[in-house]
């Protein structure tokens, strides 16, 4: 695929003596949704952290729009994460003391956007996620599904080109998870946002355009080919 917005080649990463990634090659195109699945401990979260520049791989390269993310200093990787990459975790990423609107404004304020413009954008995104009426509420006053929709608004408010979602429905019941996924897919398609979706649930992987299976730090089809 030549239109990859983000790609990785031969990624190797170990924690002490235990290898988490053993030469993983991966790519995602603009607007594409890719599910990364596999059992616990297979290395899927480590892959996500290397792709998003949170971790630096021991070997291999990560290329985002022709820039080597793995060679960037931490400050440049942090800037990239703030402006062009979005991250959605399983739960607990909202600041408890802030309202929904303030939480969603936060990434824009950190990037230097003025207070009023940040608030306007935050309200727009809360509306897109169907939670405009929660703008002045704090996370403790919301259900898990509502909190996750606010968190998704916050991940998307900077209009990232790549969204990383790490078990985004893991803490939700089926219907609440389905609503989060429906919004995520609809908005990613509308804004041509690439999505790297880490999940161990087959039904959540069903929202992706394709699936990459990991096992023991490798892509499973590679492992299967080696077993033949």
Residues that bind other proteins (CB under 8 A): 39, 182, 185-186, 201-203, 205-209, 211, 215, 220-221, 224, 227-228
DSSP the chain: -TTEEEEEEEEEEEETTEEEEEEEEEEEETT-EEEEE-STTSSHHHHHHHHTTSS--SEEEEEETTEEGGGS-HHHHHHHHHHTEEEE-SS--S-TTS-HHHHHHHHHHHTT--HHHHHHHHHHHHHHTT-GGGTT--GGGS-HHHHHHHHHHHHHTT--SEEEEESTTTTS-HHHHHHHHHHHHHHHHHHT-EEEEE-S-HHHHTTSSEEEEEETTEEHHHHHHHH-
- Of 74 and 209, CB closest to other proteins: 209
- Of 96 and 225, CB closest to other proteins: 225
- Of 60 and 170, CB closest to other proteins: 170
**Nearest-angstrom CA–CA distance, 151 and 39:** 25
Q: Nearest approach, Cβ of 221 to other proteins (angstroms)?
A: 8
- Of 104 and 212, CB closest to other proteins: 212
Q: Nearest approach, Cβ of 149 to other proteins (angstroms)?
A: 16
| Tokens read off for 127 | 């509306």
Spell out the residues 6+ positions from residue 182 whose beta carbon is closer than 8 angstroms to its own.
none
Q: Nearest approach, Cβ of 40 to other proteins (angstroms)?
A: 11
Q: Nearest approach, Cβ of 211 to other proteins (angstroms)?
A: 6
- Of 40 and 75, CB closest to other proteins: 40
Q: Nearest approach, Cβ of 29 to other proteins (angstroms)?
A: 17
DSSP 60: E
Q: Nearest approach, Cβ of 224 to other proteins (angstroms)?
A: 6
- Of 38 and 160, CB closest to other proteins: 38
């Amino acid at each position: 695929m030549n239109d990859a917005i983000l790609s990785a080649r031969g990624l190797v990463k170990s924690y002490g003596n235990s290898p988490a990634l053993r030469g993983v090659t991966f790519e995602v195109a603009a607007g594409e949704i890719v599910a990364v699945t596999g059992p616990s401990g297979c290395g899927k979260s480590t892959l996500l952290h290397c792709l998003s520049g949170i971790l630096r791989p021991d070997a291999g390269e990560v290329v985002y729009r022709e820039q080597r993310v793995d060679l960037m200093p931490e400050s440049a990787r942090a800037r990239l994460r703030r402006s062009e990459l979005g991250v959605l975790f399983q739960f607990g990423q909202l600041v408890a003391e802030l309202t929904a609107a303030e939480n969603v404004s936060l990434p824009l304020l950190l990037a230097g956007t003025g207070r009023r413009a940040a608030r306007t954008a935050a309200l727009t995104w809360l509306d897109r996620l169907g939670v405009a009426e929660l703008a002045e509420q704090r996370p403790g006053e919301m259900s898990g599904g509502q909190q996750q929709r606010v968190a998704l608004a916050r991940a998307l408010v900077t209009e990232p080109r790549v969204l990383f979602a790490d078990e985004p429905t893991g803490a939700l019941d089926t219907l609440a998870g389905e609503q989060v996924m429906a919004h995520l897919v609809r908005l990613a398609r509308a804004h041509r946002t690439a999505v790297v979706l880490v999940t161990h649930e087959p039904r959540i992987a069903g929202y992706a355009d394709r699936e990459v299976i990991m096992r023991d730090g490798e892509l499973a089809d590679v492992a299967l080919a080696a077993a033949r």
